[in-house]
A = this chain, B = another copy of it.
Amino acid sequence: MEHSVVMKFGGSSVESIEKMQAIAQRIIKKKSEFRHVVVVVSAMGKTTNQLLALAKQAAKYPSKREIDMLISTGEQVSISLLTMILNELGEQAIALTGFQAGIKTSGLHTKNKILDIDISKIENYLNTNHLVVVAGFQGLNEQGDITTLGRGGSDTTAVALAAKLGCTAEIYTDVDGIYGVDPRLYPEAKKLDVITYEEMKEMAFLGAKVMEPRSIEIGQRYKVPIYVASSQNNHTGTLIKEYTKVEEKSITGLSISEKVMMVTIMNFSARSSDIATLFVALAENEVNVDMISQTPAGEGLINLAFTAGADDLEAINEVLEKITARYEGLDVIKNMNVVKISVVGTGMRTQSGVAAELFKLLADHQIEFRLVTTSEISISYTIDKKHMKKTVEVISSHFGL
C-alpha cells in the first residue's frame, strides 16, 4: 500500500504505561506523515521471561504447544494497553493478535517461521483510517494452534508485514542505530547511515546483537528497507538496504566474539575418515565448531585447529578424551585466551587487496593471529585476548569505522 510504514517497538520500549504513552506520541506524529501506520509491539519488559518461569514451576518439561499459548499472552497485553492509550488520545486504533492479523506460521512450537500473511484484515482497517497495532512474535499454524517465532520474533513480524505492504520497517530499539564497531570497544566508533543486508547478516551472525539474522533475510528477500533507530531520542538511525555500488565501502564493520576457545591437535591423521570422526563426535556432543584450519605435519599427519564457544569446554573435553584414547601420539593444546575479530564489508567482493591491506596492517602493529577464515564479504581472525583492544583501534581508525 502506498504511503505506509511499519513501526516496531521492543519490550523495553513498552515496559510501563508511561513508556507506552511516550511511544504513543511518536506513533501519532508518524501518522501525520504517512497515510497508513502499522505498529508491531513486543511483550512488556521482562514479561516473557516471567511467564517462562511460571511454566517451569508448573512442569519440569512444559509442553511446547502450551508454552506458545502462554507466552503469546505477553504481546496480547501490550497491544491492548497501547491501543487503549492511542484511542484515549483521540486516534482510531485497533489491536490485532497474531491470528487476527492473519499471520500464518509453520514449524516447531516456540520456533515457528512465518509462512504467509493474509493481509486483508489489516488492509481493511488501514483503508478505514485505523492505526493498526499488531502483536509481534506470534501467529497461528495450520492446525489452528497459537505459535511463537522464537528470539527476535517481533522484528520478523514487522519486516514480514512491511514486505506484504511494500513499505519500510522501522525498528525502534535501545540503541541509536548500527555502529561499525561496538562503541564500548572503540569509543570513537561512528554510527552507519547505511548498511547492506549482507553486511548486516554477517554482523549479526558474528556477534552484533541489534537484530536477528532471520528478519534481515526476509528484508533482503522482499527488498524491505529496514530503518533501525532509538525509541528514546530522535537521532538519525541506520538504514539497512540493498547493495548499491555507489555507496560501497571496503569495510563497513568489525565485530568481536569474546567467549571463544581454540583447540589445536598436533599430529592428527590426515585421512579424511579420521577427520570426519572427530567433527562428527563434536557435533554429536552439540559443540558448535566455528573456524577450522589444518596444515600438513609430516607423512600422513596434520596439525588441526578449530574454535568453538568457551561454554562448550566440557563437551569438547569429553570428545578429546575419546579421541586421544583412540589415536596415539596426539598433542592437544586448549587455548581459552583468544578472541575472534571479524571484519565485514561488501566491498571486499569487488575491491581486491582488502585482505592484503588487513594482513599488512596487523603485521605493522605486531599483532599475531592464530587462525584466519574468510567468506566473500568477511575475514575473521583469532588473536590473543591481550591484543584485542589494540586490534580494534588499529582497524577502526584505519578504515574509518
Asked if residues B87 and A69 are in contact (CB atoms below 8 Å), the reply is no
**Can you give 28 A-B contacts (C-beta < 8 A)?**
A17-B54, A17-B57, A20-B58, A51-B77, A55-B80, A55-B81, A58-B81, A58-B84, A58-B85, A58-B88, A59-B85, A59-B88, A60-B88, A62-B87, A66-B79, A66-B80, A66-B83, A67-B84, A69-B76, A70-B76, A70-B77, A70-B84, A73-B73, A73-B77, A76-B76, A100-B144, A100-B145, A100-B146
Main secondary structure of the interface of A (DSSP, over half): helix
A83 interface neighbour in B63, B82, B87, Cβ under 8 Å: B63
The docked-state distance in angstroms from the alpha carbon of A122 to that of B173 is 42
List, in ascending order, chain B residues with CB within 8 A of A97's CB: 69, 146
List, in ascending order, chain B residues with CB within 8 A of A73's CB: 73, 76-77
Interface string of A40-72 (1 = CB under 8 A from B): 000000000001001101111111011101101
A163 to chain B, nearest CB (A): 23
List, in ascending order, chain B residues with CB within 8 A of A251's CB: none
Which residues in chain A, 114-162, are within 8 Å of chain B measured between CB atoms? Answer: 121, 144-146
Which residues in chain A, 64-112, are within 8 Å of chain B measured between CB atoms? Answer: 65-67, 69-70, 72-73, 76-77, 79-85, 87-88, 94-95, 97, 99-100
Of the four ranges (under 10, 10 to 19, 20 to 34, 35 or more), the interface on chain A belongs to 35 or more
List, in ascending order, chain B residues with CB within 8 A of A85's CB: 58-59
A108 to chain B, nearest CB (A): 17
A79 interface neighbour in B69, B83, B99, Cβ under 8 Å: B69
